[in-house]
């Protein structure tokens, strides 16, 4: 990879900072209840759960987790999104970019990474997954959803993306010491060629 990882992150975040209001308007009504249910349904601890919404954006899913009675904490690298998420959800939101995470150890029952980890360059992904693994309690659950592809990566307009098939994504996750729970494709009830999203659920082993 010739591009600098920090430059990739900055340029992608610049896009979101510059389009924050449009992004909020375009995604606020998206139904991701299937993904939220997949995360919460896999957590074996007693509720309420402590949930990290990684790449929380303007706070749509933070608000949902909070309304369900869980302690939800958001994290995003976009300054605009952090401000919007705090105001919209009423939750605690931290500003951090994914390649420089500073997370408390073993705090979270679940991490919700919905449509975010594909922005991480593949060379940086193992460290990011390691940070998420360390932030989960033993037995905790990581949910991921990414646009799927054939393991290509690069610039898609002003945003950087990595587009994996399940076999390659599983290799990254298992190398980061996660155990598979299940995976599926979205949107539901459509032919596979009309399901561009790969969703997957992973557990941090108890020992």
Distance CA 80, CA 152 (A): 29
Domain extent, residue 31, equals: 5-203
Query: In CATH, what number is assigned to the domain containing residue 100?
Result: 3.40.50.150
pLDDT number for residue 22: 86
With H, G, I as helix, E, B as strand and everything else as coil, classify residue 77: coil
Task: Note the pLDDT tens digit of each residue in 111-158.
Answer: 999 999 999 999 999 999 999 999 999 999 999 999 999 999 999 999
| Domain count for the chain | 1
Note if the bond before 48 is cis, omega within 30 degrees. yes
* SS3 call for 185: strand
- Asked if residue 199 lies in contact with residue 160, where contact means CB atoms within 8 angstroms, the answer is no
pTM, whole model, 2 decimals?
A: 0.96
Q: pLDDT band at 1, cuts 50/70/90?
A: very low
**What's the chain's average pLDDT?**
95
């Amino acid at each position: 990879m010739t591009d600098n990882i920090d430059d990739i992150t900055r340029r992608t975040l610049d896009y979101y900072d510059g389009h924050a209001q449009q992004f909020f308007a375009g995604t606020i009504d998206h139904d991701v209840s299937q993904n939220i249910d997949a995360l919460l349904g896999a957590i074996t601890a007693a509720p309420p759960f402590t949930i990290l919404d990684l790449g929380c954006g303007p706070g749509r899913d933070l608000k949902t987790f909070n309304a369900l009675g869980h302690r939800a904490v958001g994290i995003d690298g976009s300054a605009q999104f952090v401000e919007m998420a705090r105001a919209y959800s009423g939750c605690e939101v931290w500003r951090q970019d994914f390649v420089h995470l500073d997370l408390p150890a073993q705090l979270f029952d679940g991490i919700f990474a919905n449509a975010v980890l594909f922005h991480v360059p593949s060379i940086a992904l193992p460290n990011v997954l390691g940070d998420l693994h360390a932030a989960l309690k033993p037995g905790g659950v990581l949910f991921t959803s990414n646009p799927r592809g054939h393991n290509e990566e690069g610039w898609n307009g002003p945003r950087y993306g990595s587009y994996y098939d399940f076999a390659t994504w599983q290799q990254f996750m298992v190398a980061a010491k996660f155990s598979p729970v299940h995976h599926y494709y979205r949107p539901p009830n459509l032919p596979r060629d009309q399901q561009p999203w790969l969703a997957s659920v992973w557990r941090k082993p108890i020992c």
